[in-house]
Amino acid sequence: MRHTISLLVENKFGVLSRISGLFSGRGYNIESLSVGETIDPQISNMTVVTSGDDQIIEQINKQLNKLIDVIKVIDMTELDHVEREMVMIKVAPRQEDKAEVLRLAEIFRGRIVDSSQKTYTIEVTGNEKKIEAIIELLKPMGIKEFVRTGKIAIAREGIKKA
């Protein structure tokens, strides 16, 4: 099963290679990884998407916790949480498809962030399903390339009923 694991780590050089080294050294898979600073500049947040059976996921969580630069490990999959990913897709449509490309961008609440005589670059944010859907729909129109940020995730806060 797939798990999204959120890590708080010391913002030091070499930490990323400790994390990725743990995964490669023990034969675990990283499906996506994104890193950024947190509100405390000494701490970074990493979101890792990985997969494995329960025993492997338990080991991954424990091994991550054991790394000295890791402050906190949260398995988001076990919590109510919001996941987002961003993609930038460069499409080179035929003249007759241009309108459809723009229409799709609008349906997916994407934005055109760059355009040229032959191409549009569309930025779309959403969960994984949404990102995959727009990629599928744009494929027949002629995707030149796309880049994805990898997933980020944050826990939802509970709401008190009024």
Partner 1 sequence: MKMSGAEIFLECLKREGVKHVFGYPGGVILNIFDLLYDSKDLQLVLTRHEQGAVHAADGYARSTGKPGVVLVTSGPGATNTITGIATASMDSIPLVIFSGQVPTMLIGNDAFQEADIVGISRPCTKYNFLAKDVKELATIVREAFHIAMTGRPGPVLIDLPKDVTSAKTDFVWPEIKIRSYNPTLEGNKWMIAQAAQLISKSKKALIVAGGGVILSGASKELRELAEFNDLPVTMTLMGLGAFPGTHDLSLGMPGMHGTYYANKAIQEADLLIAVGMRFDDRVTGKIDAFAPNAKIIHIDIDPTSIRKNVRVDVPIVGDVKRVLSVLNKLMKEETKEQWTEVRKSWLRQMEAWKKERPMTYTYSEDVIKPQFVVEKIFELTKGDAIISTEVGQNQMWAAQFYKFDKPRMWLTSGGLGTMGYGFPAAIGAQFAHPNKLVIDIAGDGSIQMNIQELATATINKLPVKVAILNNRYLGMVRQWQELFYNERYSHTHLEVVPDFVKVAEAYGAVGLRATKPSEVEPVLKEAFKIKKTVFMDFVIDWKEKVYPMVPAGAPIDQMLFEEKPEKTEKKLKAVK
Q: How far is the CB of 36 from partner 1 (least distance, A)?
A: 18
Residue 69 is a binding residue for partner 1 (CB under 8 A)? yes
Using the contact rule CB under 8 A, the part of the chain among 52-60, 79-87, 104-112, 152-160 near partner 1 is: 52-60
Pick the closer one to partner 1 by CB: 13 or 117: 13
Q: How far apart are CA 97 and CA 38, in angstroms?
A: 42
* Cβ partners under 8 Å of residue 32, min gap 6: 47, 48, 49, 85, 148, 150, 151
Nearest in space to 46 (alpha carbons), one of 2, 7, 4: 7
Q: How far is the CB of 158 from partner 1 (least distance, A)?
A: 27
Using the contact rule CB under 8 A, the part of the chain among 51-59, 115-123, 132-140, 147-155 near partner 1 is: 51-59
Q: How far apart are CA 48 and CA 67, in angstroms?
A: 15
C-beta separation of 119 from 144 below 8 A:
yes
Residues that bind partner 1 (CB under 8 A): 9-10, 14, 17-18, 21, 25, 55, 58-59, 62-63, 65-66, 68-71
